[in-house]
């Protein structure tokens, strides 16, 4: 993935962040997930007054992609105000689709750091553990 495409993925996550529904925490999150097909799926967090029913931006993007037939992912950009890292549920959801997924964690200015799903969730549980 070229430097330009990383920046484009971050820009799409920032755009998705603007659509977040976060009336309780005011912590808006956007995500952009790049599938192996070359298609990008975006998502934002959608809060609920019953907090456990809130869905994160990262999982929104994954669910959209999977529901449209995509199963292999190259990279995910996630954008928050302060460059916050994905939560544990999002890390496990990403891990379901591979340890080598590149994860770009961006702040509101678009500055980002790069990691992987494996680095975010070391010694993770996967389908192989069910054998």
Domain parsing of the chain, residue ranges: 3-130
Contacts of 31 (CB under 8 A, 6+ apart): 13, 16, 42, 43, 44, 56, 57, 58, 60, 61, 76, 77, 78, 79
Is the pLDDT at 1 greater than 80? The verdict is no
**Residue 4: what pLDDT?**
59
- Model pLDDT, residue 131: 87
Q: Report whether pLDDT(2) > 80.
A: no
Q: Indicate the average pLDDT of the chain.
A: 95
CATH topology for 3-130 is Cytidine Deaminase; domain 2 (3.40.140)
Confidence of residue 3 (pLDDT cuts 50, 70, 90): low
Active-site residue among 3, 47, 58, 70?
A: 58
Active site residue 58: yes
The answer to which of 61-65, 66-70, 123-127 has the lowest mean pLDDT is 123-127
């Amino acid at each position: 993935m070229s430097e330009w495409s990383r920046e484009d993925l971050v820009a799409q996550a920032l755009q998705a962040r603007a659509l977040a529904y976060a009336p309780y925490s005011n912590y808006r999150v956007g995500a952009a997930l790049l599938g192996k097909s070359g298609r990008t799926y975006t998502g934002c967090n959608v809060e609920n007054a019953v907090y456990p029913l809130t869905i994160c931006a990262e999982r929104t993007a994954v669910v959209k992609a999977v529901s449209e037939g995509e199963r292999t992912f190259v990279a995910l950009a996630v954008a928050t105000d302060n460059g916050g890292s994905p939560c544990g549920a999002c890390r496990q959801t990403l891990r379901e689709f591979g340890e080598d997924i590149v994860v770009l964690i961006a702040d509101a200015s678009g500055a980002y750091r790069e990691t992987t799903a494996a680095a975010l969730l070391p010694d993770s549980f996967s389908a192989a553990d069910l054998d």
